[in-house]
Amino acid sequence: MTGTRSTARIGLLVAAWIVRLVAIILVIATFNFVLVRAAPGDPAMVMAGQSGAADPKILDDLRKEYGLDKPYLVQLGTHLARVLTLDLGYSYRQRRPVLDLILERLPATLLLTLTAFCLALLIGTTLGALAGLVAGSIADTVFTVLSLLLYATPVFWLGLMLVLVFSVTLGWLPPFGYETINAKHTAIERIFDIMKHMIMPVISLAAIYLAIYARLMRSSIIEVSHQDFIKTARAKGLARPRIVVSHMLRNALVPVVTVAGMQAGALVGGAVVIETVFAWPGLGRLTFEAVLQRDYPVLLGIFLILSVIVIALNLVTDLIYRLIDPRMTTEAA
Amino acid sequence: MNRREFTAAMLAASAAIPLGITRAAGQPKGGTLNTIIQPEPPILVTAFNQQQPTLTLGGKIYESLLKYGADLKPLPGMAQSWEVSPDGLTYTFKLFPGITFHDGKPMTSEDVVFSCMKVLTETHPRARQNFARVASAEAPDPLTVVFKLKQPFAPFLGCFDCTSAPIVPKHIYEGTEFRKNPMNDKAIGTGPFKLKEWVRGSHVHLVRHDGYYRKDQPYLDEIIYRIIPDSASRALALENGTVQLVQWSDVEFFDVQRFKSQKNLAYTTKGYEYFAPHQWLEMNNRVAPMNDKRFRQAVMHLIDRDAMNKRVYFGNAKVATGPISSKTKFYDPKVKRYDFSVEKAITLLDEMGLKPGANGKRAEIKYLVPPYGEVYQRAGEFFRQSFSKAGIDLVLVGTDMAGWADKVGNWDYEMTQNLLYQLGDPALGVARTYISSNIKKGILFSNTQGYSNPEVDRLFEEAAVALDEAKRQELYSKVQQILVEEVPVAWTLELEYPIIYDKAFKEIVTTGIGSHETFGSVYKS
Amino acid sequence: MTNPSVQDKASVLSVEKLSIALPEGGDRPFAVEDVSFAIGRNEVVCLVGESGSGKSMIAHAILSLLPKGVDIVSGAVKVVGQDTAALDRRALRRLRGGKAAMIFQEPLSSLNPLKRVGEQIEETILTHQQPVPPAAAIKARVQELLTQVGLPNPSLLANSYPFELSGGQRQRVMIAIATANQPELLIADEPTTALDVTTQRQILRLIDDLRRERGMGVLLITHDFGVVADVADRVVVLRHGKVVEHGSVEQVLRNPRDPYTRELIDAVPKAHVKSRESASHATPLLDVVELRKTFRVKRGWLQPPREVVAADGISLTLHQGETLAVVGESGSGKSTLGRMIMRLTEPDSGAIRLGDQDLRLLRGEALRQARRGLQIIFQDPFSSLDPRQKVGDAVARGPMAYGTARDEAMAQARQLLARVGLTPSAADRYPHEFSGGQRQRICIARALALRPKVLIADEAVSALDVSVQAQVLALLAELRREMQLAMIFITHDLRIAAEIADRVIVLQHGRIVEEGPTAAVFTNPREAYTRDLLDAIPGRRFFDQPNFARQREALA
Amino acid sequence: MDAVKAFLRHPSGMAGFVLLIIVLIVAITAPVLFPVSPWEMSGTPFTPPGEDGMWLGGDTLGRDVAAGVAHGARVSLLIGIASALAAMTIGVMIGAISGYFGGKVDLVLMRVTELFQTVPAFILAILLVATFSPSLLTIILTIGAVSWPPLARLTRAEFLRLRGREFVEAALCQGESTARIVLGHILPNAISPILVVVSLTVATAILLESALSFMGLGDPNLMSWGFMIGAGRTVIRQAWWMSVFPGLAILVTVLAINLFGEGLSDVLNPRVSRRRA
C-alpha cells in the first residue's frame, strides 16, 4: 500500500505492457505482411505504371530494390528484423522512408483523435452522469433520444452535414484543411486558426463516441445508484451531492474507462473517414492513399504505428482504470 | 530552305512570340499565386516521375531546351536557337548564356548531355525511347549541344519540352544512384522558381529564383501549391479566392460551368494542345466477343457520346472521331462516322450471331473501373446503362491503382476506360497504342488491347521517319481510315480540361503545355 | 420493558400501526401491514421471519430508505421521539447516521469498494459533527472506533480498501461507521447471515457489547431463532407482513402461542444428537485416499500465483446406508472435496475408490459409466435446473443418457417426482414455476433417477427457509433409509450435521481436524477448533437446556 | 410467449420494430415502387427534389435519388444481415470453443480475438476490401471478419458462466455427452444475449458498409446508400439532396435496428442489457 510499492507495481506493469507490445507488433507485422502479399497485383508494376509507360528493366530494378524476387520467408524475416529496429522500410511510391512519412502525418492525426477522444469522454460522461441522475425525467428522455440519434449517424455523413450547414450555407467555418496556408499568422493567431479548422472534424469524430460514453455512463450511474454502498451512504446521513460526487461518480466511471480503452481502435478508424471528408493531413488520409496505390511499405508501417497508438491508448486507460480502482493494482493485468 | 534560312526563320518566329526573351520590362513585379496540386506528387524531380501533378509543379523548377506553342511549333526554351541538318540526322542547339541552377552553379551543355543521355534514358520511360534514337550527343562548347540520330525521326524536335526532357544538374547526380540521391528533396533545377518548403499533405511553397537567366523574370515572388484531396473543397477554395488558379481536374467538370460565369475568373481550354487528352473505351481484342470487328462497331453505335459529354463531362469535351485528336497534327476528319443508334448496334450483333439468351442477355462483360476518381466511375455507370439497351450486361469491377495497372498491363481484362496523351505528334502519342511492336505484356499504355494489323504498322513506321509534312499527312490519313473502320478501341471523347484563373493574373497560358509551363512570364496586375 | 404493548416514553424507536404498500403487480398489496412495536434504551429487539415476510422493509422504513415506489401508507415511525415522516430532508439526514444508524447483511457490497476504510468512517463523522473537528481529532476518533470494534492494527486498517479485509473485518468496519456518532438506535439487517458461525458469534457479541456500553437500542433483523435466543430481549415474529407474535424471548421461544411460530421454532435444527447405531460394514462403499488439491490463482503478469490449499491429504470412507457430514467454515475446502469426489474438480493427487474402481484414473466413457453410482445435489436450487428444460426432462435425461427408453424414463420421472412430494404433472412444467423448496425436491428426484450408490449433498438446504429446510431434510432422511443410500452431507451448519449424520468430519484449511461418530464429536470434541465451532452454534444452550435462562452478561 | 408480450409493451423497442418493418417493406417493394433500374439516367442531372417526377431529386447523371434510396435499402439490409450472420458464425464458434474448453485453447483464441480488437477495425476492413477487390461477397466476409470479436467474447463469457452453472454440472454428472451439454443446455441459455448482439451487429455492419462505399470501396454494381453519399459528397453545393436523403435512410435504419435490438435485450436479458452501452 506504500508509495514505492505501487510505483514498483506500475513500473512492472509498464514493463509487462512493453513485452506485450513487442509481441503484438510482431504478430501484426506478420499478419499484415501475409495479407498484403496475398493480394493480387504486382507492386513493381504499380510504381512503374505510374510513370506513364513501364519497361521491364525498371520493373526488374524495383523488384530487386524491394527484394520482391526473394522467397516470401526471406522477405518476412527481413521485414520483422527491420520492424524491430524501427525501420519501417522505404516507400518507392513516395520515394521516402516510411517512418518519415508517418511521423510527419502523425501529429495532425494525434491532435484530431486525442482532442475528439478527450472531448467525447469529458462531455459524454458529464452528460451521461446528469441524465443517469435524473433517469426517467423529460431531460433524460431527450438525452436518450439524442444520444440514440447520434449513435446511429454515419460519421462521414455527419461531417458532410456540418460542412453543408456551417461552411456552404452559413460560411462560418473553413470546410477543409488543417490551417490557413501562408496566412503569416502570429503564433497565437495560428493556434486559433488551427482550432477553427478543428471544430467540425472533431465534432464529427467525437459525436458517436460521445453518445457511446454518455449512454454507458448513464446506465453505469443508474446501476451504481442501486448498489448497497449507496444505501450505506444514505444511512450515514450524507447529502445527495456528496453521495454523487464521493460515492457514485468514481464507481460509475470504471466500466466507462474500460470501454473507452476498447474504443480507441475504432476511434482511430473513424479518423480515416473524417480526415478524408475534411482533407485533414493526417495518417488516416495517408492510409487511404496507400491502399489505393498499394504502397506496401507504407501500409505495413501505418498499421504498426496505429496499433502502437491503440495499444498506448489502451495502456493509458488501463492505468487510469487502476488509478480509479485500487482492486486492479493487485489483481490480474 | 537552307540551314541558315531555317535558323533565321526560327529566330524570327521566336521574336514574334510574346514570351520571347526580347520582351522587356513593363510588367509589375511581386505577388503570390495560390493554386492547387492534386494529387500530391510523390517527388518534384520531373526526370524521375512523370505524373501530371509532378509535371505541373516540376515545370516551374525544371526547364528544357524548347517550349511548344498552341500550334505545337517549337519555341526557344533554354535553347535560344537550333538547327537541323537537311538529312534530318543532326540537331544543334545553342543555349542562352548565364543560366544557373538554383544552387548557384552554372548550367552548361554538359548538363544537357548528361541529363538526356545518362539520367533520362535510365529514369524516364518516354525519353528513353526518344533518346534511344540518338547515336551520339556532344557538348563542343558550354553553350552548344549536338545530337546525332541513328536514322531520321520527324518528331525529334518535339521531344524537348520540360516534361519530356527536363535538365538536371550533372554536378549533383553524376556517379550517384539517381533515384535515391538525397538532393532529390531539394529539387535543384534551372526554372524561374525554386523550392522553399514542402509540407507533406498540406502545400508546396515555391519562391522566385533570383539568378534566372531571362531578364526581370519571374515577375511573381512566390507560388503556393495547396494539396486539397477533396474536390468540393477545391471548388470552394477557388470560389472564395483562397486559390487563384486551377488546372486539369482540380475542379470537377460539373463545377466548370459555374466558374465560367464567375466575373473575376477567366476560363480557357487552351494550354492542353500538346497533351490533347484522348479518351476511349478499351476492349481486349483477344477475348470474345470483342475479337469480332462487328461487335466493336456495335459498341461505337451504342455509346451516345454527345449524351456522355453532357451528363458525365458536362460539356467539357468534344466527341472523338478516331485515333488522332482534332487538336493534334495530321488529324483527318474524313473518316467513317458512327452515329448513336441502338438499332444499328443490334443489327450488327444479330449479324455476328450474338443473340439474346434465355434471360434476354446477349453477353456479360466485365468492365474494370479505372481507380482515378469519380468521373471514371460515372463513365462506367454510363457505359453500363448504354450497353444494357442492347442486352449486354456490363459488370463493373472495382479495383485499386495497382490492380488496374496489373490487369490492363497483363491483358487480364475485358473492358476498361483509358486516357492517353497525344504528345504533339502521332508518332509520339498515337502510334504506341496501335502498332504490333508495342504489344508488350506487363506494360501499361502500350497496345494493351492487342490490336494487330501489318498495314497499320507499316503506315505508322513510314510516317515516323518521313520528313515531308504532306507525305506524313497522307500516311496518317490512311491509317485513320483503317483504324476507324476496325475500331481497335471505342474512341469516346477528346477531353477539354479547363484552366480557370483569377483575371488579375496575366500570361497564365502561353504555350501548348499550359499549366506545366514555367510561369516565368506570369505577372499580377 | 416487560410489557411490550406499553409504549415506553423513553423508547428510542416506536413503530405504530405501520403499513407499507407494494407497487402494483406485486404478489400482495402490502409489504407490511399494521405493525407496531417499540424499542427502549439498552434493549435488543429481534424482528424474525422467513424470506418475504417484510422484515427488511420495516428496517428500511425506519430511516426512510425504502426503494422508489414503495411507500408508507399509514402508521408512524418515531425515532428518538421524532416522527420521521414529519422531518424535512436535512433533519432526516441528521437523524441517519446520527441518532439512528444501520448496518446491512452483505458487508462487502455495503462498503464503497473504491474508498479507503478510514475515509468512509471519517465521512460519517464529518457529516454529523458541528463544528467540524480538526483533522487530527477525526483521525484519532477513527483509530479509536476501529479499536473499539476489535480490529487489530487500526492505522494500517484505516488505509486499506474493503476488498483487502475479511468478511468479519468488513462487518466490524460497518459497525464502526454505524456507531461513529454515538447513535441511540442501531438497526442491524441480517448482519451475520453472510458470515461463518464463529465470526457471527463475534459480531453479535460486539454489537451486544456496544449496546451495553452505550445503552443503545438495537433492532436486529434475522431469520435465525438461534440468533434470537442468543441476543434478544424481545421478539417480533412476522409472517407475510403481519405480526403474528410479539413478546419476550422466553415467552415466545419457550411457549409460542401462534402455530406458525411454533412450527418455525420446531424446524430449527437443535443440534440434538440422535443416537444411531452406525452400520459398520467390512468394506467401505467409497474410499477416498489422500486427496490433495491446491488452487493457483493467477495474479497478472510477472507476479507469482496465489496458492490456496483446498485439500491437504483428505482421506475418508463411506459405507452403505451411512451419512457422513462434512462440516467447516467457508474456505475450509468442504465443497471442493465433494466436487473432487464427483470429478467436477480435478484433484492433484490421491485416489477415489468407488467399489473396485479408482474414479480418478477414469476418463471418457468409463468415467461416464462410473458417474452413475455417484450423484450430487447442489446448494442453489435456482441455478441447478436448466431454465429451458422441462422438469420431467431434467429427471429423465439421466437414465436416457444410459440407454433407458424415453417413455420408460419419463414414467420413472413422474414416479420419482411424486415420491419427492410433487404432483406428477410437474413433469410438464418449467423450473421457474416452482418455489425454492420444490426445486430442491426436483433436484433430489433428478439425482435419484440414476439409482446412485452415493449421494453428495453440497449445502443442499442452506439456501432454504428454515421450515422448508426441515421438510427437505426429512425427505432426504426418508429416502436414505428407503434406498439404503450412502450420503455425504456437506454443510456449514453444525446443527444440521448433528441432525442428519452418523459420522462427522470437521475440515479446516483443507485438512481433517476431527473425525468421528456424530455423538462423540458433538458431546466430546477433542480439538479446540471443533469446540469453537460448537460454541458458536447460535442458541445452542438455550435450546439444549430447557431451563437455561438467558443471562446476557454470559455472552461477555 | 411472455417475451413477445413484454416486447409489445416496450415503447422504444416497438418504435424500432415499426421503423424496421417500414424499411423492410420499402426494401421488398422497391422493384414495384421503382420498376426502372436506379441506374437509369431518366432525368436531367441535378434535378431538385419534387421536380420532374423525382421526389428526392436527381443525381449527377440524372438518376432518381428516390429509386436509389429504395433499392439501396435492399443492399444495405442484405449486407448488414449477411455480414452479421458471418460475424456470428465466426464469433460463436470461437467463443464457444474458448469458453467451453478453457485452458490453452482459450488463451490462444482470446489472444487472437484481442489482436482483432486492437487493430482498428475500419482500417482493417479497408485493407481487406482493397486487397481482395470490392464485391458483394468480399464486403460481407470482410465486415464479418472485423465484427466477430465482441460476439466471440460474449459467447465465451456466456459459456464460461453457464459451464460453471450447477445445472450444467448436474447434466455432466447425469452422464450426458459433451455435444448434448453444449447444444442442449449451454447454447439455448446463451442464445438470447447472442441474438441481441447479432441484431446490433447488423446496425454496425450497415454503418461499416456505408463507410466503405463512401470511401469508394463498395461493390460498383450495387446502388448502396454509402455509395450514394460518396457520389453526392463532391456535389454537395449543387445537390444537397444527393447526400442528405441516403444519409437519413442510414440513420433511420440503424436507429431502428438499435432500438429493436435494445428492446429485445431489455426483454430477453435484463442482466446483460444493464451493462451494455
- Chain B neighbors of D142, CB-CB under 8 A: none
Tell me the nearest-neighbour CA distance from D224 into chain B, angstroms.
14
Tell me the nearest-neighbour CA distance from A216 into chain D, angstroms.
4
- pLDDT tens-place string over residues A14-41: 787 788 788 888 888 887 777 766 766 6
- Chain A neighbors of D247, CB-CB under 8 A: 153-154, 157, 160-161
- pLDDT tens-place string over residues B173-209: 998 888 878 898 899 999 999 999 998 878 999 999 9
- The crossing angle, in degrees rounded to 10, of helices D121-132 and D103-118 is 80
CA atoms within 13 A on the CB side of B191: 36
Which candidate from B43, B232, B409 shows the least CB-CB separation from A45? B409
Angle, CA of D240, D242 and D246, to the nearest 5°: 115
Any B CB within 8 A of D233 CB: yes
Instruction: Name, in order, each residue with C-beta under 8 angstroms of D150's C-beta and a sequence gap of 6 or more.
Output: D91, D117, D197, D201
| C-beta atoms of C97 and A250 within 8 A | no
The residue behind cell 527481413 is A78
- Residue A72 or residue D110, greater confidence: D110
For an interface test with A, the pick among B184, B202, B224, B234 (most A C-beta atoms closer than 10 Å) comes out as B202
| C-beta atoms of A168 and D236 within 8 A | yes
Longest dimension (CA), chain A: 85
Beta strands (DSSP E) in B162-313 are 193-199, 203-208, 222-227, 245-246, 265-268, 278-283
Instruction: Name, in order, each residue with C-beta under 8 angstroms of A22's C-beta and a sequence gap of 6 or more.
Output: A84
Peptide bond into C131 cis (omega under 30): yes
Residues of D in CB contact (< 8 Å) with A are 115, 117-123, 126-128, 130-133, 203, 207, 210-211, 214-215, 226, 229, 233, 236-237, 240, 243-244, 247, 250-252, 254-255, 258-259, 274-277
Residue A42's pLDDT band (cuts 50, 70, 90): low
Residue C553's pLDDT band (cuts 50, 70, 90): very low
- The crossing angle, in degrees rounded to 10, of helices D225-233 and D187-214 is 30
The residue behind cell 415466545 is C252
Termini Cα distance of chain C: 22
Chains C and B in direct contact, meaning 3 or more beta-carbon pairs closer than 8 angstroms: no
Residue A65's pLDDT band (cuts 50, 70, 90): low
Which candidate from C110, C127, C161 shows the least CB-CB separation from A238? C127
The residue behind cell 510516317 is B463
- Chain C neighbors of A319, CB-CB under 8 A: none
What pLDDT does residue A4 have? 54
Residue A93's pLDDT band (cuts 50, 70, 90): low
- The crossing angle, in degrees rounded to 10, of helices A155-162 and A187-225 is 130
Tell me the nearest-neighbour CA distance from D216 into chain A, angstroms.
10
Which candidate from D61, D237, D238 shows the least CB-CB separation from B378? D61
Cα–Cα dist B18/B26, whole Å = 13
- Chain A neighbors of B443, CB-CB under 8 A: 53-56
Residues 25-54 of A with CB under 8 A from C: none
| C-beta atoms of A45 and B402 within 8 A | yes
Chains C and D in direct contact, meaning 3 or more beta-carbon pairs closer than 8 angstroms: yes
Any B CB within 8 A of D154 CB: no
What is the CB neighbour count within 10 angstroms for residue B133?
16
- Chain C neighbors of A254, CB-CB under 8 A: 114
Residues 213-272 of A with CB under 8 A from B: none
Chains B and A in direct contact, meaning 3 or more beta-carbon pairs closer than 8 angstroms: yes
What pLDDT does residue C277 have? 56
What pLDDT does residue A296 have? 67
- Chain A neighbors of D242, CB-CB under 8 A: none
Domains of chain B: 3-59+191-271+498-524 (3.40.190.10), 66-173 (3.90.76.10), 278-495 (3.10.105.10)
- pLDDT tens-place string over residues A110-148: 999 989 989 998 999 999 999 999 888 899 989 888 998
Tell me the nearest-neighbour CA distance from B125 into chain A, angstroms.
6
- pLDDT tens-place string over residues D198-251: 998 999 999 999 998 888 888 888 899 999 998 888 788 888 999 999 999 999
- Chain B neighbors of D40, CB-CB under 8 A: 385
| C-beta atoms of D189 and C388 within 8 A | yes
What percentage of chain D reaches a pLDDT higher than 70?
Answer: 96
Find, in chain A, the residue whose alpha carbon is nearest to that of B50: A51
Long-range interactions of B249-254: CB distance < 8 A, separation 24+: B249/B38, B249/B373, B249/B375, B249/B497, B250/B36, B250/B38, B251/B498, B251/B500, B252/B374, B252/B375, B252/D234, B252/D235, B253/B312, B253/B313, B253/B314, B253/B315, B253/B316, B253/B375, B254/B314, B254/D45, B254/D46, B254/D60, B254/D235, B254/D238
- pLDDT tens-place string over residues B120-170: 988 887 888 889 999 999 999 999 999 999 999 988 998 998 888 999 999
Which candidate from D165, D169, D175 shows the least CB-CB separation from C401? D175
Long-range interactions of C508-513: CB distance < 8 A, separation 24+: C508/C328, C508/C329, C508/C332, C509/C309, C509/C312, C509/C331, C509/C332, C509/C333, C510/C293, C510/C309, C510/C310, C510/C311, C510/C312, C510/C314, C510/C332, C510/C333, C510/C336, C511/C312, C511/C313, C511/C314, C512/C314, C512/C315, C512/C316
DSSP, residue by residue, C382-415:
TTSS-TTS-HHHHHHHHHHHTT--HHHHHHHHHH
Mean pLDDT of A57-77: 73
| C-beta atoms of D120 and A310 within 8 A | yes
- pLDDT tens-place string over residues B403-430: 787 788 889 999 999 999 998 899 988 9
Which candidate from C94, C112, C302 shows the least CB-CB separation from A237? C94
Q: Across all residues in chain A, what is the average pLDDT?
A: 80
| C-beta atoms of D39 and B381 within 8 A | yes
**For residue C432, what is the DSSP state?**
G
User: Minimum mean pLDDT among A88-92, B224-228, B361-365, C4-8: which range?
Assistant: C4-8
